Structure 1
Amino acid sequence: MTSPHAAEQTLLLGPANGLVGVITPPLPPANGQAPREDPPFVIILNAGIIHRVGPNRLHVSLARALSADGFPVLRVDLSGLGDSQGREDGSAPLDAALADIRDTIDTLQATRQVKRVVLMGLCSGADHSVIYAASDPRVVGVVLLDPSIPRTKGYYLKHYSGRLLSLRTWKNVALGRHPVWQLLKRRAHGAPVGEGDAAGGDMAAARPAVTLEHPEVRAFLENAYGRALGNGALFLTVLTSDRERQHNYRRQLQDAFPALDFNGRLLIEYFERCDHTFTTLASQQRLVGLVRRWMGAAGFR
């Protein structure tokens, strides 16, 4: 019996054919339905340093499900990952990733007349997707799985209110093991909050850490989302409870960038009791079903 995925094929991309991807072409529609008219090409980016199959073969599951719905899908390894060659131009990691994405889309446009793409990624793949979408109007949609989002007042309210109600927190306070005791000891000795422990007042330890909440980082991300919106991109964002240190409620993305008007072009779902890499079959099925419904109803320009 022939596999419905037997048509998957390897593709070399970029000016030097140094990037390697696997295309899952759209399957013929079932029950005599008309094929999807001019669907955008879905490009799934690496999650961190994981090969293009994705964590727990998540990218394979997404590609084959979307293929069954009539969308062509490319799972690509960025330079230096999986089977792709490393870049030799000395680009910084973010610059290299953005150049790889552009090379990938350019190759699809030149060889397959692709004019519209949907970028999809988990973790770093999500960040690369939205940052790149800011610069290329060919990106008509982005699927962001656990992207980087600055923490907000709403985040801290939920974070600390949950701990105030925790029996373990009060037990640690009573036993002197809670971090608040270290803070009080340092203030009692005249040390300012956030000062490092290095002898002699190490200046490096005293510098404020560059976090997602840093004004320049927040402005950079806000600009990326704003420009992608300006290009007409649609957004699907999925947040998992496993990333509680980064985000812990559904509306955190909108609250982090209140100046942006997503104007009905953003769907966010928060997956409780779900780990960052969608390990369980149930969480993968839930995610795949959500992505399929969104892709089918999005109405890309």
Structure 2
Amino acid sequence: MSHAAEQTLLLGQGKGLVGVVTPPLPPADGQVPREDPPFVIILNAGIIHRVGPNRLHVSLARALSADGFPVLRVDLSGLGDSAAREDGSAPLDATVADIREIIDTLQATRQVKRVVLMGLCSGADHSVIYASTDPRVAGVALLDPSIPRTTGYYVKHYSGRLLSLRTWKNVAMGRHPLWKLLKKRPAHEVPAEEDGAASDMAAARPAVTLEHPEVRAFLENAYGRALGNGAQFLAVLTSDRERQHNYRRQLQDAFPSLDFKGKLLIEYFDRCDHTFTTLASQQRLVGLVRRWMGESAFR
């Protein structure tokens, strides 16, 4: 696939954020050019450089460029080639500020009015959290976002194990994790110093999971506000994240108070790893993203 010449940009108030723009290719003969297409911004996946895992971001950018969309692959502050922020912001606050400065720069220099945010893992979470704060975000493409586990998740999780011959063999042979729980030392056998220290640490660092009411409410509020701003959603879940999500409708079931009103396309990729390593899984993902971008009525 041919692609347009890519350009390096310095973005943000201090020009410390580094990104690469893949401009849209001109339409082929007989094709109608896109009128004012949204600018796609692909965020870092964790601490991985802007090329993305297995060059996934490059593949997405060049495919969308061929469809007439401008795409920016960007390093947030402290990642890849971008300088760290010096204002002492907390990590999430710094990310939100970075994204706002990136969009502000594109608006000031390229008259960009609306964007689509795209990201894998932490990039997905940052996309929806930021989209809740800025109506310029017309769409979000979420690859393996954080989703609280639901009743449906546990039903599928445990029903599969109950039907597994290996599970029953492990129970019978004493190798199942259940036996480890049963064999834990009673509290009176734990030395007083060890028991006290463990209790103090547990009290100081209570477990916080996606299912914690405050975390769930925070995510539900983010999705709700982004929907209220009119954003379109694409969510892709992979079977590699089975400990977090294991069926297609889990996103809707996790936030039953939200009505996506036809603004959500969601797919579950079975036998697919989290970073879309194989060529087949990347091609499937790129095809899905292209279809969603082409069919979505971004406001």
How high is the TM-score relative to the length of structure 1?
Answer: 0.94
> Paired residue for 1:199?
195
| 8 A contact 1:27–1:68 mirrored in 2 | yes
> Paired residue for 1:270?
268
Corresponding residue SS for 2:30: coil
Q: 1:34 offset after TM fit, Å?
A: 2.1
Please tell me the residue identity of whatever aligns with 1:128. Answer: H
Q: 1 CA distance for matches of 2:100 and 2:126?
A: 11
> Does residue 250 of structure 2 align to residue 252 of structure 1?
yes
Corresponding residue SS for 1:118: strand
> Paired residue for 2:223?
225
Aligned counterpart in structure 1 of residue 279 of structure 2, from 278, 281, 295 = 281
Q: 1:171 offset after TM fit, Å?
A: 1.4
> Paired residue for 2:171?
173
Change (3 A) 1:171 1:208: farther
| 8 A contact 1:40–1:71 mirrored in 2 | yes
| 8 A contact 2:144–2:241 mirrored in 1 | yes
Change (3 A) 1:27 1:6: closer
> Paired residue for 2:91?
93
Q: 1 CA distance for matches of 2:84 and 2:98?
A: 10
Corresponding residue SS for 1:204: helix
Aligned counterpart in structure 2 of residue 8 of structure 1, from 6, 9, 12 = 6
| 8 A contact 2:4–2:25 mirrored in 1 | no
| 8 A contact 2:4–2:65 mirrored in 1 | no
| 8 A contact 1:10–1:22 mirrored in 2 | yes
For residues 167-210 of structure 1, what are the alpha-carbon distances to aligned partners after superposition, in whole Å with 9 as ceiling and x for unaligned? Answer: 22111111112121233345x9479xxxxx95235232366410
Please tell me the residue identity of whatever aligns with 2:199. Answer: D
1:125-164 equivalence runs, <5 A: 125-164=123-162
Change (3 A) 1:190 1:88: closer
Aligned counterpart in structure 2 of residue 27 of structure 1, from 16, 25, 28 = 25
| 8 A contact 2:239–2:271 mirrored in 1 | yes
Q: 2 CA distance for matches of 1:153 and 1:252?
A: 9
| 8 A contact 1:10–1:21 mirrored in 2 | yes
Q: 1 CA distance for matches of 2:4 and 2:228?
A: 39
Q: 2 CA distance for matches of 1:4 and 1:36?
A: 18
Please tell me the residue identity of whatever aligns with 1:95. Answer: D
Aligned counterpart in structure 2 of residue 51 of structure 1, from 49, 52, 55 = 49
> Paired residue for 2:66?
68
Change (3 A) 1:190 1:86: closer
Please tell me the residue identity of whatever aligns with 1:259. Answer: S
Corresponding residue SS for 1:57: helix
Corresponding residue SS for 1:199: helix
> Paired residue for 2:212?
214
For residues 242-297 of structure 1, what are the alpha-carbon distances to aligned partners after superposition, in whole Å with 9 as ceiling and x for unaligned? Answer: 00000000000000000001111001000000000000000000000000000000
Corresponding residue SS for 1:60: helix
Please tell me the residue identity of whatever aligns with 2:54. Answer: N
Corresponding residue SS for 2:19: strand
| 8 A contact 1:142–1:236 mirrored in 2 | yes
| 8 A contact 2:43–2:119 mirrored in 1 | yes
| 8 A contact 1:198–1:205 mirrored in 2 | no
Q: 2 CA distance for matches of 1:141 and 1:189?
A: 53
Q: 2 CA distance for matches of 1:205 and 1:174?
A: 33
- Any gaps of 5 or more consecutive residues in structure 1? 192-196
What is the percentage of aligned positions where both structures have the same residue?
A: 85
Please tell me the residue identity of whatever aligns with 1:63. Answer: A
- Any gaps of 5 or more consecutive residues in structure 2? none
CA-based RMSD of the aligned residues comes to 1.6
> Does residue 44 of structure 2 align to residue 42 of structure 1?
no
For residues 41-82 of structure 1, what are the alpha-carbon distances to aligned partners after superposition, in whole Å with 9 as ceiling and x for unaligned? Answer: 000000000000000000000000000000000000000101
Corresponding residue SS for 1:126: helix
> Paired residue for 1:242?
240
Corresponding residue SS for 2:107: helix
> Paired residue for 2:296?
298
